Amino acid sequence: MRFSNLIALTVAALAAAPAYAEVKLHNKDSKAHRITVKCTSTVQRSIQPNTVTSLGKGPCTVTVKATGAKMTGSGNDTLVISKP
């Protein structure tokens, strides 16, 4: 592969990188939580203790049912449920 082709391929890959951005949710708590996730649609789900999960393309809003706490993120943001 010629050097100029390699540079063009690298630039194209870097330009496409934001298209794969996903908001993540990190549960740092030692217990599972019921949550509502709203990205392109709204779903009810849970997140297990000490795990990280991808939510999808942002912007996303997460509501923790037990506390009513809300978090919003977009791009490559990682939302965090902290230990109490």
Distance CA 65, CA 54 (A): 19
Domain assignment present for 16? no
Domains: count for the chain: 1
In which domain, by residue range, is 74 found? 21-81
Domain assignment present for 46? yes
Domain assignment present for 7? no
Domain assignment present for 74? yes
Domain assignment present for 43? yes
Per-residue pLDDT of the chain in tens (84 residues, 90 and over written 9): 443 433 444 444 444 445 578 999 999 999 999 999 999 899 999 999 999 999 998 999 999 999 999 999 999 999 999 987
Domain assignment present for 2? no
> Which pair of structure tokens corresponds to residue 8?
């063009």
Name residue, tokens 């942002």: 58
Domain assignment present for 11? no
What would you measure as the largest C-alpha separation in the chain, in angstroms?
58
